[in-house]
Structure formats: C-alpha cells, structure tokens
Chain A
Amino acid sequence: DIQMTQSPSSLSASVGDRVTITCQASQDINNYLNWYQQKPGKAPELLIYDASNLETGVPSRFSGSGSGTDFSFAISSLQPEDIATYYCQQYDSLPITFGQGTRLEIK
C-alpha cells in the first residue's frame, strides 16, 4: 500500500496568513494526488485534483503543487471560513489512501 504522510498534523495561523501543508507519498504516484477540505460534521469537498488543478468553484486562494512523491497545498490568505481539516489522497494505485489529515485553526 502507498503511505501518505501529511504534515503538520495541526496548524494554527492568523487571518491573512499564508498556510502550507505538505504530503509525501511512499512511492511515485504520477501526480495522482488530490486535496480535500472537511468541516466538522460535513462531507469532504474536493479542492485540488491531479496535484495542481483547482476544482471548479473553489476560490483561487487555494493551490497545489508538486510531483512524484512530494506535494504541497497552500492557502495564500487564510480566511475564517477555511477552518477545517485538510486531507491529501492518492489514487495512483489501489488501495486508494489518504493522509492522516491536517487540522487548521485560527490563532
């Protein structure tokens, strides 16, 4: 199985800050890497697909980059509504696996 190691596991930042989360795969996943946002009690929402493509309707302050085994996700200017847990996910091979999540809080 491909292991997805996400860091940090939690993060506290101020409104307007730039926030970055990293995700490392245990092997090359050919950019088959997605990022999701999950708010408490809600289903996840797709933000970024295939490492760097912004899903339709998602604000442009969200972005993704990386290739091979190392990927990152960024929020350029943190907004109060961005408080959530963020997950990376690989779908290069089965089983599909997710990172353990990054809980983002407002400082």
Chain B
Amino acid sequence: EVQLVESGGGLVQPGGSLRLSCAASGFTFSSYWMYWVRQAPGKGLVWVSRIKRDGTNIRYADSVKGRFTISRDNAKNTLYLQMNSLRAEDTSVYYCTRSGDGGGFDIWGQGTIVTVSS
C-alpha cells in the first residue's frame, strides 16, 4: 500500500523547536518530489516547503524561510521538517505529500499536529 506517515508533532513553547518526520512506503520514495503543507485550525491549506528527488532544489514559503529546514533520507525513505524559532502562528496540522506523475499532490499523510503555546 502506498503510504505516508507523519510523526513528531506536539506542544512546544514559542521559540522552541520540533522535528517532523514522514515515513514513506509502498513506492520508490527517491523518484518523487516531496512537500510539506500545513493547515491552521479551521483554515485553508498552505504550502510550506518542497524538495527535489535528490535532495536539491529546496524552496520555502516566506513565512518559514530561515526558520524551517526540509531534508530527506532516500535510504530511509523518510522526509523531514526541522522547525526552529516556532511562533504561535505556526500552530497547524502539518501534512507531507508527494507530487504525482500528473503534477497534483496525489498521496498525503494523515497529518501531525503542531501546537505552539506557552
């Protein structure tokens, strides 16, 4: 079964750090561009970051640039998001997703909740 499973979310104080992981299975992880998308409570979808198949061509949304770092380990079939200097406005469900052959985000994880609060 093609699957993405996120982990690493939780409650963190403002200014703190978290590392999210996304484990891929059922497909050749190294063949796909990967993305992080987030959704604040009751709000819409917001693109966060992307990374090319080989770990290059990394881009970030302006709102997280300089604070978040995306990476991947193709040997472990895992995508990461290191989040530093967290703010209340980073509170969201974070989804990992892949770009399918047709260009849309065709596989999504179940999401992991990040809450930034004192």
Contact = CB atoms under 8 A, between A and B. Distances in A.
A87 B105 contact: no
Interface residues of A, number: 24
A34 interface: yes
A34 B105 contact: yes
A43 B110 contact: yes
Contact of A45 (B47, B50, B62, B108): B108
Nearest to B108: A43
A55 B59 contact: no
A53 B99 CA distance: 15
B11 interface: no
Given A45-B108, A101-B44, A94 B59 contact: yes
A46 B100 contact: yes
A89 B100 contact: no
Contact of B47 (A36, A48, A96): A96
Given A43-B110, A49-B100, A100 B105 contact: no
Interface of A: 32, 34, 36, 38, 43-46, 48-50, 53, 55, 87, 89, 91, 94-101
Interface of B: 35, 44-47, 50, 59, 61-62, 95, 97, 99-100, 102-106, 108-111
